[in-house]
Amino acid sequence: MVLLNDVVHFRGETVALYATFKLPSGESAQDLLDANTPTVHVEYATPANQIVIILPPTPMVRMTNERFYYNWVVPDNAPMTTFNVVFSGNIDDGITKSTQELIVGNPALTTKQNFLRYGPHSFLARSRTYEPRISPQMPKGTF
């Protein structure tokens, strides 16, 4: 189910997937993380409850000692569904995994550029207007 704060991505879009590896205490895992092992794969479940991997395990690119990313281009034939993005890495000789959801929707359902429509009559979220923001001004006078 799509929620108001979910971001809907579209086929052909490049989506940046980020992972930060930390210890349960919140400290950086950079000293215990095997920097060659962080990978990402994307999967989804079919109506018959079969798991289909649309992106096989792929190495991620290092940004900092503990943060990695991968730019995934949503395939043109990707189903419009909720995908499960799985990040994994080897920390202290043990596999650590984390997941996040990624929604791929139908751009044909978007009828106005300021509204995202999902379904025949439902407007989920109104985007920001495209008018430029006025930069804040300092108060006039002497200081």
What's the full length of the chain, in residues? 143
pTM of the predicted model, to two decimals? 0.69
Rounded Cα gap, residues 22 and 102, in angstroms? 22
Instruction: Spell out the per-residue pLDDT of the chain, length 143, in tens.
Output: 444 445 778 888 889 999 988 887 878 787 788 877 899 999 998 888 889 999 999 999 998 888 899 999 999 899 888 899 999 988 887 888 888 988 887 776 654 444 454 444 444 444 445 555 555 555 666 65
Which residues face 87 on adjacent strands? Answer: 40, 98
Q: Which domain holds residue 45?
A: 8-107
- Asked if residue 33 is part of any domain, the answer here is yes
Report which secondary-structure segment, H or E, holds 40. Answer: strand 39-45
- Asked if residue 128 is part of any domain, the answer here is no
- Asked if residue 17 is part of any domain, the answer here is yes
